[in-house]
């Protein structure tokens, strides 16, 4: 083996110069059309949240706020014509819920009167103080003649039963509003004789108020409820009572 006599040397290479740092780019703004696409998504999310938070039955709400220091006569008109003939169980269950809820939310000296109507009208519950209402209370079993639908007999019955007004009165009609006698002049006279200061109509969900009814009672409030749901019907009546008393309807504490 040959001896190594030359000194060891280290090979070296020149490093290339370092590059200048790449400047950071400013963040891009999202295109305007993306914001437009997000609007319906945000709206749908808010609507879903609102619906999920909405009460589903009358027991979940309460009337809140001041009201006039006088009793209120509540006149409930129930459509029992052929188009509503299959909903008697729903009506009964809804009335039970209303009777249980009313003593906690209306004045003890407020009164409730219930009249059923079709071609004619019958008294189901005479004027009864709220303090005497009770869930499961029996109404009269007489029924109106089912052939046809007329609203004037219901108002005439209310006038005859209640007489001259001594306090504010509200009328709440649960009906599809398709009647054969929606005469504005005649109904206006009956409403005046009854002394109704407010009125509400509750129609089945998805059903529009009939133009003839709307023209005759154009000052009333309109609500809707699932005709197959006692919970929804009772809650709609609470909405109508809120309109009548001028109070707000809020979720009950603990519900």
Q: Is residue 57 part of a domain?
A: no
- Does some domain include residue 203? yes
Query: Where are any strands of DSSP class E within the chain?
Result: 61-64, 73-79, 111-117, 121-129, 169-174, 196-204, 221-225, 248-251
pLDDT for 51 equals 45
Query: 165: helix, coil or strand?
Result: coil
Q: Please tell me the predicted confidence (pLDDT) of residue 10.
A: 46
Task: Read off the pTM.
Answer: 0.78
**51 lies in some domain:** no
Tell which wins on pLDDT, 115 or 10: 115
Reported as a single tens digit per residue, the pLDDT across 120-161 is: 999 999 999 999 998 877 787 777 887 889 999 999 999 999
Structure tokens at 97: 């819920």
| Tokens (6 digits) for 29 | 């703004």
Q: Domain residues for 238?
A: 71-251
- For the chain, the straight-line distance linking the first and the last C-alpha, in angstroms and rounded, comes to 99
What are the residues facing 116 on neighbouring strands?
A: 78, 122
Within a domain: 124: yes
**Position 61 in a domain:** no
Q: Is residue 33 one of the residues assigned to a domain?
A: no
Does residue 209 form part of some domain?
yes
Write the pLDDT tens digit of every residue in 12-62: 555 555 555 556 565 666 676 666 666 776 655 554 444 446 789 999 999
- Answer whether residue 163 is part of any domain: yes
As a whole number, mean pLDDT of residues 208-222 equals 93
CATH number of 102's domain: 3.40.50.410
Do 130 and 105 meet the contact criterion of CB atoms below 8 Å apart? no
- Domain total of the chain: 1
């Amino acid at each position: 083996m040959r001896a190594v006599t030359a000194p060891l040397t280290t090979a070296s290479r020149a490093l290339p110069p370092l590059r200048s740092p790449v400047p950071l780019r400013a963040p891009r703004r999202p295109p305007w059309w993306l914001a437009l696409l997000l609007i319906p998504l945000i709206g749908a999310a808010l609507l879903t949240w609102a619906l999920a938070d909405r009460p589903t039955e009358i027991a979940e709400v309460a009337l809140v706020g001041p009201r006039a220091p006088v009793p209120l006569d509540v006149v409930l008109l129930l459509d029992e014509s052929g188009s509503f003939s299959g909903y008697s169980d729903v009506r009964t269950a809804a009335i039970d819920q209303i009777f249980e809820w009313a003593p906690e939310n209306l004045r003890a000296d407020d009164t409730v009167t219930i009249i059923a109507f079709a071609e004619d009208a019958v008294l189901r519950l005479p004027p009864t103080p709220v303090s005497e209402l009770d869930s499961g209370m029996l109404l009269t079993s007489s029924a109106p003649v089912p052939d046809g639908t007329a609203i004037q007999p219901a108002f005439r019955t209310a006038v005859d039963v209640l007489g001259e007004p001594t306090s504010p009165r509200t009328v709440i009609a649960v009906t599809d509003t398709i009647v054969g006698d929606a005469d504005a002049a005649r109904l206006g006279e009956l409403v005046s004789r009854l002394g109704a200061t407010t009125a509400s109509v509750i129609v089945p969900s998805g059903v529009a108020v009939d133009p003839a009814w709307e023209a005759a009672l154009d000052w009333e409030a309109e609500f809707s409820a699932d005709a197959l749901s006692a919970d929804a019907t009772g809650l709609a009546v609470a909405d109508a009572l809120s309109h009548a008393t001028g109070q707000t309807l809020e979720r009950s504490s603990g519900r």
